[in-house]
Chains A and B, each alone.
Chain A
Amino acid sequence: MATKLTARRKRRISPTSESRPVQWLLIGIAFLFMGVMLLLPLYAVFHEAFLKGIGAFFTGLAHKDAQAAIRLTLLVAAIAVPLNVIFGVAASWAIAKFEFKGKAFLITLIDLPFSVSPVISGLVYVLLFGAGSFLGPFLKSYGIEVLFALPGIVLATIFVTFPFVARELIPLMQDQGTGDEEAALSLGANGWQTFWRVTLPNIKWGLLYGVLLCNARAMGEFGAVAVVSGKIRGQTTTMPLQVEMLYNEYNGTAAFALASLLAMLALVTLVLKTALEWRFGQEIAAGANH
């Protein structure tokens, strides 16, 4: 009797969970939605890229305009990401290590670019440096082109990736407090020594996490860059812009070949990001919501 009762109790589901069939139904719906909405597009990129064989794929990538686009994208990211890293570290140092008035407002301001449409992020620089502005003709008289040139593309990229590093580091450094730094200073270290030998090792994984997200967005940005680039073939087209151009010229294979490189970048980013979360979850946790 007693054994029968416990056996039955074991089979019964917990009152704070759903029955097995309901669980599997919900899991099934989640898988289906994710498969159709997320995995299918990813698969489609590679499928279309290799549709006409591996030869056509490499012909697309080997074209000199594609090569120029890849170089430009790498160059833009190589300028924009380090600048945002310096900003992110400086901003989180000021915000996390000190108490001052208007701090909460400053944190809100740093997140501002996330609520601005990418197209508007590019537009603001067109208005600032374009025809009819004060700055554009002034700089032009010194031979400096901003719009439809590298500086404009870099500025627009910095705008859209502005918050990435800072928003990872601020909560992390706030969590860590100032104890370690105060100890280092009291033992005679100067400010730079404290930063390089105490703070930086403490935040390195969080910093790497922020750099990863910042870089993915910098290389993949489309709307903001499209507005300022002028799309001069082989000169001011980044990889996403080159993808658009090829696609609009009905050169699908070449467009998807280049797109598959960007998709690979996205996958590598996701894998590294996930690895960081699994391995160093505690050390980046404070800011990790995406």
Chain B
Amino acid sequence: MSASVSSVARRLGRFRRPSVIPGFGLTLGFTLTYFSLIILIPLIALAVRSAGLGPEGFWKAATDPRVLGALRVSFVSALFAAAVNVVFGTLIAWVLVRYRFPGRRIFDAIIDLPFALPTAVAGIALTAIYAPNGAIGALFAPLGWRIAYTPAGIIIAMIFIGLPFVVRTIQPILEEVSHEVEEASATLGASRLQTVTRVILPSLMPAILTGFALAFARAVGEYGSVIFIAGNIPFVSEIAPLLIVIRLEETNYAGAAAIASVMLIISFLLLFAINLIQAWSRRRYGYGN
């Protein structure tokens, strides 16, 4: 009996472990077909179109000064926004997990608003608020500071869409940090501040880094919420996704594909970095998903 099972396993080339449950071929086949049609083949089309430029043409399209300017605007703004989100996202996660106050669960639910609110809606709403005659814009206008239609506006929009990534990454990890290490730290004479900065924060570090990377990756690719508030001036406030759209409108498909390829390569490197952080964190702290 066991001999026949193992021979079946061998015949399957050990690709999968035998099971009495039916439907493996059907479901995996459908999954792979659907994935190929929707995701893989279109991405290959992008690679083929970029490769069609040849190495020299690709390099020229990717290092065009306006392209470099747009990439710089996207990445630098995303970096700022993710940094702000790490600070306030960690603080919000801390408050939500550790303290009890009225309205906490509603507060917790509202954190997901940027996931649910369509980006174009967020974009025009933020513009209305931060424009020189808007609720917050009007506060800064007398000082000569403009937020909407400047790079500052881009960062505001990116903070908005990135916040839940940081909070939702840190929250479950913070819930699992055991109170015993804090008690140990306190009994050994550490002040509360020392305990927080030297015991708790280091164990949250992988989650904070992952949250940062997720918020950063999202902000780099963001389009809808940014373009209304950005001003869209080349070299100053023109983001890379917008330049892709502009290249498409000029029917410069290869140029658009080149920018997209550069952005995708960087996103995939980021994704890889996130996986490395989580693998490291699993080994070091025993958590990470």
Asked if A185 contacts B118 (CB within 8 A), the reply is: no
Is residue A33 within 8 Å, beta carbon to beta carbon, of the partner chain?
A: yes
Residues of B within 8 A of A39 (CB): 110
Contact flag A240-B45 (CB < 8 Å), given A123-B244, A132-B253: no
Shortest CB–CB separation between residue A263 and chain B, in angstroms? 6
Asked if A98 contacts B16 (CB within 8 A), the reply is: yes
- Give the dominant DSSP class at A's interface: helix
Residues of B within 8 A of A187 (CB): none
At the interface with chain A, which of B23-31, B54-62, B144-152, B280-288?
B23-31
Asked if B118 contacts A219 (CB within 8 A), the reply is: yes
Residues of B within 8 A of A226 (CB): 223-224, 245
Q: Which residue of A lies closest to B14 (CB)?
A: A101
Partner of A120, one of B34, B96, B224, B260: B260
Is residue B82 within 8 Å, beta carbon to beta carbon, of the partner chain?
A: no
Partner of A185, one of B20, B109, B126, B245: B20
Residues of B within 8 A of A117 (CB): 220-223, 241, 260, 263, 267
Asked if B221 contacts A27 (CB within 8 A), the reply is: no
Shortest CB–CB separation between residue A227 and chain B, in angstroms? 6
Asked if A227 contacts B248 (CB within 8 A), the reply is: yes
Asked if A41 contacts B125 (CB within 8 A), the reply is: yes
Shortest CB–CB separation between residue A261 and chain B, in angstroms? 9
Asked if A131 contacts B251 (CB within 8 A), the reply is: yes
Contact flag A128-B45 (CB < 8 Å), given A93-B27, A94-B27, A247-B124: yes
Partner of A130, one of B121, B187, B253: B253
Residues of B within 8 A of A259 (CB): 118, 120-121, 124-125
Asked if A34 contacts B111 (CB within 8 A), the reply is: yes
Residues of B within 8 A of A240 (CB): 118-121, 224
Shortest CB–CB separation between residue A131 and chain B, in angstroms? 7
Q: How far is the CA of A106 from the CA of B34 in the complex (A)?
A: 13
Residue interface bits B21-55, CB-to-A below 8 A is 1, else 0? 11110111011001100110111011001000000
Asked if B45 contacts A90 (CB within 8 A), the reply is: no
Asked if B224 contacts A37 (CB within 8 A), the reply is: no
Q: How far is the CA of A194 from the CA of B14 in the complex (A)?
A: 26
Residues of B within 8 A of A271 (CB): 109
Is residue A181 within 8 Å, beta carbon to beta carbon, of the partner chain?
A: yes
Partner of B91, one of A30, A45, A86, A274: A30
Asked if A266 contacts B113 (CB within 8 A), the reply is: yes
Residues of B within 8 A of A91 (CB): 27, 31
Q: Which residue of A lies closest to B228 (CB)?
A: A247
Residues 125-180 (chain A) with a chain B CB within 8 angstroms: 125-128, 130-133, 155, 158-159, 162, 178
Asked if A26 contacts B253 (CB within 8 A), the reply is: no
Q: What's the A-B contact tally at a CB cutoff of 8 Å?
A: 292
Asked if A44 contacts B107 (CB within 8 A), the reply is: no
Partner of A216, one of B16, B43, B116, B135: B116
How many residues from B make CB contacts under 8 Å with A? 98
Residues of B within 8 A of A131 (CB): 251, 253
Is residue B164 within 8 Å, beta carbon to beta carbon, of the partner chain?
A: yes
Q: How far is the CA of A30 from the CA of B125 in the complex (A)?
A: 21
Asked if B241 contacts A30 (CB within 8 A), the reply is: no
Contact flag A222-B120 (CB < 8 Å), given A40-B129, A131-B251, A247-B228: yes
Instruction: Beyond the given A30-B95, A37-B159, A247-B124, please list 15 additional residue pairs across the A-B interface where CB-CB is below 8 A.
Output: A18-B192, A99-B16, A108-B275, A115-B217, A115-B267, A117-B260, A118-B224, A120-B244, A123-B256, A132-B253, A220-B116, A226-B223, A240-B121, A265-B116, A274-B105
The residues of B with any CB-CB pair to A shorter than 8 Å are 14-17, 19-24, 26-28, 30-31, 34-35, 38-39, 41-43, 45-46, 49, 88, 91-92, 94-96, 98-99, 101, 105, 107, 109-122, 124-126, 128-129, 134-136, 159-160, 163-165, 168-169, 172, 179, 182-183, 186-187, 192, 195, 217, 220-224, 228, 241-242, 244-245, 248, 251, 253, 256-257, 260, 263-264, 267-268, 270-271, 275, 289
**The 3 residue pairs across chains A and B that have the minimum distance between CB atoms:** A220-B118, A117-B221, A100-B16
The residues of A with any CB-CB pair to B shorter than 8 Å are 15-19, 23, 26-27, 29-31, 33-34, 36-42, 44-45, 48, 83, 86-87, 90-91, 93-94, 97-101, 106, 108-110, 112-113, 115-120, 123-128, 130-133, 155, 158-159, 162, 178, 181-182, 185-186, 190-191, 194-195, 213, 216, 219-223, 226-227, 239-241, 243-244, 247, 252, 255-256, 259, 262-263, 265-267, 269-271, 273-274, 278, 289-290
